[in-house]
Every structure is written in structure tokens, then in C-alpha cells.
Amino acid sequence: MKKINEILKERRLELQLTMLDVAKSVGVSEGTISRWESGDIANMRRDKIAALATTLKISPSVIMGWEEDTNNSALRTPHSALPKGIIPISQLKRKKVPMLGHIACGKPIFADENRNEYVLADGDIKADFCLTCNGDSMTGARINDGDIVFIRQADMVDNGEIAAVIIEDEATLKRIYYYPEKNKLILNAENPKYEPLVYIGEELDHIRILGRAVAFQSVIR
């Protein structure tokens, strides 16, 4: 039976992930991933085990040594033997989406753009960039503090869609309602403790829509 550190390394390479990719996804340093794969660190925090299992798409029980390396045998299953509509994990497409910084789910915050970071996402997500959410104003849409929201760039979105918006130099995530006949824009939260933000007339000159939210990734809690 393979050792746990060997399983982790082989699974990462199978998914074509770098140690840095895994480190960012799990929330640890690249050096920690290296020590996990070399077997120098045998014990992991429970939340890191869950995050690592999600990133590598294996059972947490494998990482904890409760199960054998079942993921490799599953990957060797002939395609014809898989249930209809099930794609082997090795064929799942992943892509890097630029992380531009943070966006407020509450009061607007300064728009921090950092194009040096990337987040791994499902290859089917049609997003141009992503942002980390701060605050609780969008919890009704199941977007929580610390979640990552993926944005498809657009100058305008349909009423009722969730969008990333720049208000002067501050960014916020809200549900959009625009009424051109009244020259009025309403940004609605998804939490009753926050009142709508309403902008009329010349106030709209200081507002820019970055794009529509197309997906979000919840953090491991």
C-alpha cells in the first residue's frame, strides 16, 4: 500500500497542479506542501485535510490513512464502465483565473487590484477574473465572507443579476437594478440588515460596472 505522502504527490501531478497551486488553494505555504509530500509532516489540522482533499479531489479518509488509495484505482476504471455522464477526474479541465483583490459584501471598500495571484477554477467557468469577498451583505445569495466570486467582464448586466461595481475608487458586490428612464441605479444587498444603495442622475457618473458574477467558491470552514 502506498504511503500517504506518495498519494498526495502523485495526485497533485495527475491534476497537473504545482505545489504553489495547492498551497494557495489550501491556505498554507509552498514549503508546507513540500514537507507533506516528503513525509516530514505527518500530522495535519482537520480543516487543512478537508481543503487538501477538495483540491486534490480525493476522500479525506485517504489523507488520514483510514482508506487505501482508492482514487488511483478509480482513475484506471475503463470509460465504458463509468456511469453515464460521469467524467473521470483526470479529464476534468482546470484553469487559472486572475485574482484582482477584494470586494465588499457590505460597505464598499477600496478597489485593490493585484494581478500577480491566480485561483484554480473549473475549466467550464467563463470568468475573466475573481475577487475575494469581505462582509456579510450577500449571505442570502449564499456568498459569505472569505468566499471567492468569479466575474465575467461586462459594462452592463440585466436587472436582478449580481455584479461587481466600482463606486469611485471603491468596490462592492450587489444585485443590480437600473432604470434608464429615471436615470436611477439601485444596488441591493442579500441581507435584510443592509439598506439598498440608490444613485440618481450625476451620481451615476462615478459608478462603473466591472462585470457579472458567474460563480463563487466557498471557503472551507
CATH number of 94-217: 2.10.109.10
Do domains 4-91 and 94-217 share one topology? The answer is: no
pLDDT score recorded for residue 163 = 93
**pTM of the entire predicted model:** 0.55
Give, in words, the CATH class of 4-91.
mainly alpha
Q: Cell 443590480 sits at which residue?
A: 176
| pLDDT 10s digits, 55-101 | 888 776 666 654 444 344 333 333 333 334 433 434 446 678 888 77
Q: Are 50 and 220 in contact (CB under 8 A)?
A: yes
What percent of the chain stands above pLDDT 90?
24
Band (116; pLDDT cuts 50, 70, 90): low
20-28 average pLDDT score: 89
Distance (Å, rounded) from C-alpha 138 to C-alpha 50? 25
Band (192; pLDDT cuts 50, 70, 90): very high
Q: Are 130 and 115 in contact (CB under 8 A)?
A: no
158-168 average pLDDT score: 91
If we measure between CA atoms, which residue out of 161, 156, 159, 158 comes closest to residue 138? Answer: 161
| pLDDT 10s digits, 200-214 | 999 999 898 989 998
User: Residue 108, class by beta-carbon neighbours within 10 Å (0-12 exposed, 13-18 middle, 19+ buried)?
Assistant: buried
Domain ranges of the chain: 4-91, 94-217
Q: Are 167 and 206 in contact (CB under 8 A)?
A: yes
Distance (Å, rounded) from C-alpha 95 to C-alpha 70? 25
Q: Are 89 and 79 in contact (CB under 8 A)?
A: no
Please indicate whether residue 137 is annotated as part of the active site. Answer: yes
**Among residues 9, 24, 25, 174, which one is catalytic?**
174
Query: Which residues does residue 119 pair with via DSSP β-bridges, in sequence order?
Result: 97
**Among residues 9, 24, 25, 137, which one is catalytic?**
137
If we measure between CA atoms, which residue out of 173, 175, 8 comes closest to residue 102? Answer: 173
Distance (Å, rounded) from C-alpha 69 to C-alpha 91? 19
